């Protein structure tokens, strides 16, 4: 039996030739994550940034970060799916460490 975990998905969106339209792309990606079974908890829009290195002739990209809950088996499926997406230049997934509830003593 699998349990859901929290993940972070970092996407660098190819913005060449279209400065507008990132909002629609981000909404589409959020919807696709949900359709695949992820529960999106947070969307961080980090604006357009210059990449540390050129990737497929792309020097700058619009960065967006999703925090979501999902089954561990979903991550590989998302990698394969979004690899085919022409608007995604780069993608990276990280498992987040579970937050432990800290109990403070009342001194």
CATH of residue 27: 3.30.70.60
Write out the residue range of the structural domain in which residue 59 sits. 14-95
User: Between 54 and 8, where is the model more confident?
Assistant: 8
- How confident is the model over 12-33, as pLDDT tens digits? 998 777 666 688 899 999 999 9
pTM (2 d.p.)? 0.82
Q: 46 in a domain, yes or no?
A: yes
Q: 101 in a domain, yes or no?
A: no
**Residues 12, 51: contact at Cβ < 8 Å?**
yes
Q: 3 in a domain, yes or no?
A: no
Distance from the Cα of residue 8 to its chain's centroid: 6
The residue written with tokens 């994550």 in the block is: 33
As a whole number of angstroms, the distance between CA 103 and CA 87 comes to 45
Q: 89 in a domain, yes or no?
A: yes
User: Between 106 and 7, where is the model more confident?
Assistant: 7
- How confident is the model over 54-100, as pLDDT tens digits? 888 888 889 999 999 999 999 999 999 999 999 999 999 999 987 66
As a whole number of angstroms, the distance between CA 6 and CA 20 comes to 30
């Amino acid at each position: 039996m699998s349990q859901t975990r929290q993940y972070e998905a970092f996407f660098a969106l190819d913005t060449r030739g279209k400065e507008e339209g990132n909002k629609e792309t981000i909404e589409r990606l959020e919807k696709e994550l949900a359709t695949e079974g992820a529960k999106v908890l947070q969307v961080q829009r980090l604006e357009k940034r210059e990449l540390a290195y050129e990737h497929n002739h792309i020097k700058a990209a619009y960065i967006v970060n999703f925090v979501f809950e999902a089954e561990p088996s979903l991550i590989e499926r998302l990698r394969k799916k979004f690899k085919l997406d022409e608007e995604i230049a780069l993608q990276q997934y990280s498992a987040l460490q579970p937050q432990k509830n800290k109990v403070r003593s009342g001194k």
